[in-house]
Amino acid sequence: MYRTHTCGELRISHIGQQVMLSGWVQRIRNLGAMTFIDLRDRYGVTQIVIDESSSSAVKDIADRLGREFVVQVKGIVIERASKNSKLATGDIEVKADVINMLNISEIPPFTIEDDTDGGDELRMRYRYLDLRRNTVKNALLLRHRMAQEVRKYLDHQNFIEVETPFLIKSTPEGARDFVVPSRMHPGEFYALPQSPQTFKQLLMVAGFDRYFQIVKCFRDEDLRADRQPEFTQIDCEMSFVEREDVLNTFEGLIKHLFLQVKGINFTEPFPRMSYSEAMERFGSDKPDLRFGMEFIELGGMLKGKGFGVFDNAEYIGGICVQGCAEYTRKQMDELTEFVKRPQVGASGLVYIRYNADGTVKSTIDKFYTSEDLMSVANKMGAKLGDLILILAGAKNKTLSALSELRLEMGNRLGLRTKDVFVPLWVVDFPLLEWDDEAQRFFAMHHPFTSPHPEDIHLFKTDPASIRANAYDLVINGVEIGGGSIRIFDRELQQTMFDALGFTKEEAEKQFGFLLNAFRYGAPPHGGIAFGFDRLCALFGGSDSIRDYIAFPKNNAGRDVMIDSPSYISQQQLNELSIEIRRKE
Give the interface with ligand ASP as residue ranges (CB under 6 A). 195, 197, 446, 482-484, 527-529
Q: Which is nearer to ligand ASP, 168 or 413 (CB)?
A: 168
**Residue spans of alpha helices (H) in 500-540:** 504-517, 532-540
Looking at the DSSP bridge assignments, the partners of residue 70 are 24, 103
Phi-psi region of 393 (alpha: psi -120 to 50; beta: other; left: phi over 0): left
Instruction: In angstroms, give the least distance from the CB of 233 to ligand ASP.
Output: 6
- How many helices and strands (H and E) does the chain possess? 17, 22
Residue 430, SS3? strand
How far apart (Å, rounded) are the C-alpha atoms in residues 395 and 405?
15
Shortest distance in whole angstroms from residue 529 CB to ligand ASP: 4
Q: Residue type at 349? A: L
Ramachandran quadrant class, 427 (left: phi over 0; alpha: psi -120 to 50; beta: rest): beta
Nearer residue to ligand ASP within complex by CB, 24 or 218? 218
- Give min distance, CB of 281 to ligand ASP, in A: 25
Distance CA 337, CA 325 (A): 18
> Whose Cβ is closer to ligand ASP: residue 247's or residue 528's?
528
Whats the size of the chain, residue-wise? Answer: 584
Say how far apart CA 186 and CA 330 lie, in whole Å: 64
CB 344 within 8 A of CB 382: no
Phi/psi for 14 (5° steps) reads: -90, -5
Residue 286 makes CB contacts below 8 A (sequence gap 6+) with 278, 426, 472, 474, 477, 478, 479
* CB nearer to ligand ASP: pick between 200 and 395: 200
Nearest to 237 by CA among 449, 532, 452: 449
Of the pair 118, 482, the CB lying nearest ligand ASP is at: 482
| Cβ–Cβ < 8 Å for 73, 10 | no
Give 358-375 as a 3 state SS string.
Answer: CCEEECCCCCCCHHHHHH
Q: Shortest gap between Cβ of 482 and ligand ASP (angstroms)?
A: 5
CB of 197 to ligand ASP, least distance (A): 4
* Nearest residue (CB) to ligand ASP, 28 versus 162: 162
What amino acid is encoded at 492 in this protein?
A: L
φ, ψ of residue 388 to 5 degrees: the values are -105, 125
Return the number of the residue (43 or 442) whose C-beta is nearest ligand ASP.
442
Rg (CA), the chain: 30
Looking at 365-503, list the stretches that DSSP marks H as alpha helix, in order from N- to C-terminal side. 370-379, 395-412, 458-461, 490-499
Nearest approach, Cβ of 296 to ligand ASP (angstroms)? 33
Min separation Cβ 18 and ligand ASP, Å: 55
375 CB neighbour count, 10 Å cutoff: 14
> Is the Cβ of residue 373 or residue 528 nearer to ligand ASP in the bound state?
528
Q: How far is the CB of 243 from ligand ASP (least distance, A)?
A: 12
> Could you tell me the smallest distance in angstroms from the CB atom of residue 454 to ligand ASP?
21
What is the Cα–Cα distance from 456 to 463, expressed in whole angstroms?
9
Strand partners for 564? 559
Shortest separation between residue 203's beta carbon and ligand ASP, angstroms: 12
Nearer to ligand ASP, 326 or 433 (CB): 433
Nearer residue to ligand ASP within complex by CB, 118 or 527: 527
Question: Least distance to ligand ASP from the beta carbon of 484, Å?
Answer: 5
Q: Which is nearer to ligand ASP, 92 or 529 (CB)?
A: 529
Using the minimum distance from each CB to ligand ASP, give the nearer residue, 199 or 295: 199
Crossing angle of helices 504-517 and 197-205, rounded to 10° = 50
Min dist. Cβ of residue 292 to ligand ASP (A): 30
User: Quick one: DSSP state of residue 314?
Assistant: S
CB of 429 to ligand ASP, least distance (A): 11
- Ramachandran quadrant class, 476 (left: phi over 0; alpha: psi -120 to 50; beta: rest): left
Strand partners, 99: 73
The rounded distance, in Å, linking the Cα atoms of 20 and 3 is: 5
Nearer to ligand ASP, 195 or 476 (CB): 195
